[in-house]
Amino acid sequence: MSNVFDVLLERGFIEQTTHESEIRELLAKEKTTFYIGFDPTADSLTAGHFLTIMAMIHMQKAGHRPIALVGGGTGMIGDPTDKTDMRKMMTVEQIQHNVSGMQKQLSQYLEFAEDKAVMVNNADWLTKLNYIELLREVGIHFSVNRMLTAECYKSRYEKGLTFLEFNYMIMQSYDFLELNNRYNCVLQLGGNDQWSNILGGVELIRRMNSKPAFGMTLTLLTTSEGQKMGKTVSGAVWLDPNRTSPYEFYQYWRNVEDSNVERCLGLLTFLPMEEVRRLGALAGAEINTAKAVLAYEITKIVHGETAANEAQAAAKALFAGGVDSGSIPTTELSQSELGDGIDLITLLHTVGLIQTRSEGRRLIQQGGIYLDGTQISEFDYVVTKKDFGDKAELLIRKGKKVFQRVELS
């Protein structure tokens, strides 16, 4: 089997390493225990986390042992990295809820049986720390001067950085030390924004345990404008199907920009690299084929084959002008709600396509609403039973690619 380091490199995962040749050698010759931490900021992981999960899966497949750490302890502090403002403090209950939600999801993607992977919560040790003891043992190894030069704190100079958050790096470094002691964990992976936090841990282990330790950061997916991928205006793209439906999830990847298709295929699917390169090289409208493959493959990994098939079928039906399929977002409307007719704006509001009636009025006036493919131009249009036709359903289209089906019940 080829070295997983080369696999990760070829697929585009690796951004920075602390000791490239040593890491490569290590991964080639022995079963290595490594860890990635997840902050419990919500009860579901997001598309952004998925990239790091893929890295873990590749590593596990190559025979190494992943430790999935969920930060029930560090979550009490909050990582100041890339935050322009201080994050609001979460309650302990909230954190615990989020930790269990994330752990549940992580267990779907990694194989935990027979000690093939380990799940930990750093609250188990961080909450028991003794302040003075910690300062004497660990604090002595950190230079504030150096910490202040870390990139992740720079953006906070203007807005302010609390001592609470300043300690985040130390806590994360301590985690690595603890995992090194408990599980002989010698490698930490993380998003590239975690570089300074990872370095802290690597150096701490080298100083306190006089043992080698390594760090490696993974690329961050960004759009051509430099925005982090995996975010939409309405929020993150979640892995939890109740937060982001498989259809929406599929559509998100179906719509990635051309220039990101090849990267995404390498990072977020298991397709062989020859195939990735072939698909990525498709030009012009042809690349849509590649996007469909990307969307299908990643949906399959995250939500399973059935959901992926459904999402794909729904997308095909809607965009190729075909007809029904099960997983188009659907709302039920009762006969009594319909009555003798319901004005279109109210209907749009009921099914959640608009937030305010003004928005609906604008939308219709600008020609953004279609009922069963027919553009509606009067904002006071009244929808009656007739619009639902024989099948008692109505397909509303907002703009080019937002669809909502209404079923009369």
Stretch that binds RNA, among 30-38, 135-143, 148-156, 357-365 (CB under 7 A): 357-365
- The two tokens of residue 25 are 């050698």
User: What are the C-alpha distances in Å from 150 to residues 198, 372, 390?
Assistant: 12, 56, 65
Residue 315 binds RNA, judged by CB under 7 A:
yes
Give the interface size with RNA as a residue count (CB under 7 A): 38
Residue 258 binds RNA, judged by CB under 7 A:
yes
Strands of the sheet with 330-333, listed across from one edge: 330-333, 402-408, 393-398, 369-371, 374-375
User: What are the C-alpha distances in Å from 3 to residues 50, 55, 59, 62?
Assistant: 22, 14, 10, 8
- Positive or negative torsion for Cα 347, 349, 354, 357: positive
- For the bound state, the minimum distance from the C-beta of residue 325 to RNA, rounded and expressed in Å, comes to 12
Residue 359 binds RNA, judged by CB under 7 A:
yes
β-bridge partners, 63: none
Between 176 and 250, CB nearer to RNA: 250
Whole-number Å distance between alpha carbons of 179 and 187 = 10
- In the list 273, 309, 361, 408, the residue contacting RNA (rule: CB under 7 A) is 361
DSSP letters spanning 84-142: SSPPPPPPHHHHHHHHHHHHHHHHHHS--GGGTSEEEETHHHHTT--HHHHHHHTGGG-
Angle at which helix 287-303 crosses helix 47-61, to 10 degrees, equals: 80
- In the list 292, 313, 342, 376, the residue contacting RNA (rule: CB under 7 A) is 292
- For the bound state, the minimum distance from the C-beta of residue 344 to RNA, rounded and expressed in Å, comes to 12
Residue 316 binds RNA, judged by CB under 7 A:
yes
Residue 356 binds RNA, judged by CB under 7 A:
yes
* CA 255 and chain centroid, separation: 16
- For the bound state, the minimum distance from the C-beta of residue 108 to RNA, rounded and expressed in Å, comes to 26
Between 1 and 233, CB nearer to RNA: 233
Between 127 and 289, CB nearer to RNA: 289
Scan residues 200-239 and list those touching RNA (CB under 7 A): 224-225, 233
- For the bound state, the minimum distance from the C-beta of residue 355 to RNA, rounded and expressed in Å, comes to 7
Residue 407 binds RNA, judged by CB under 7 A:
no
Q: What is the DSSP letter of 226?
A: S
Total H helices, total E strands in the chain = 21, 15
- In the list 226, 284, 321, 373, the residue contacting RNA (rule: CB under 7 A) is 284
- Give the residue among 375, 350, 377 at the shortest CA–CA distance from 361: 377
Residue 362 binds RNA, judged by CB under 7 A:
yes
Residue 107 binds RNA, judged by CB under 7 A:
no
- For the bound state, the minimum distance from the C-beta of residue 157 to RNA, rounded and expressed in Å, comes to 7
| Pairing, β 374-375 against β 214-218 | unpaired
Stretch that binds RNA, among 57-65, 129-137, 145-153, 365-373 (CB under 7 A): 365-373
Residue 104 binds RNA, judged by CB under 7 A:
no
Residue 154 binds RNA, judged by CB under 7 A:
no
Residue 395 binds RNA, judged by CB under 7 A:
no
Binding site for RNA (CB under 7 A): 158-160, 224-225, 233, 251, 254-258, 284-285, 287-288, 291-292, 315-316, 318-319, 355-359, 361-363, 366-368, 398-402
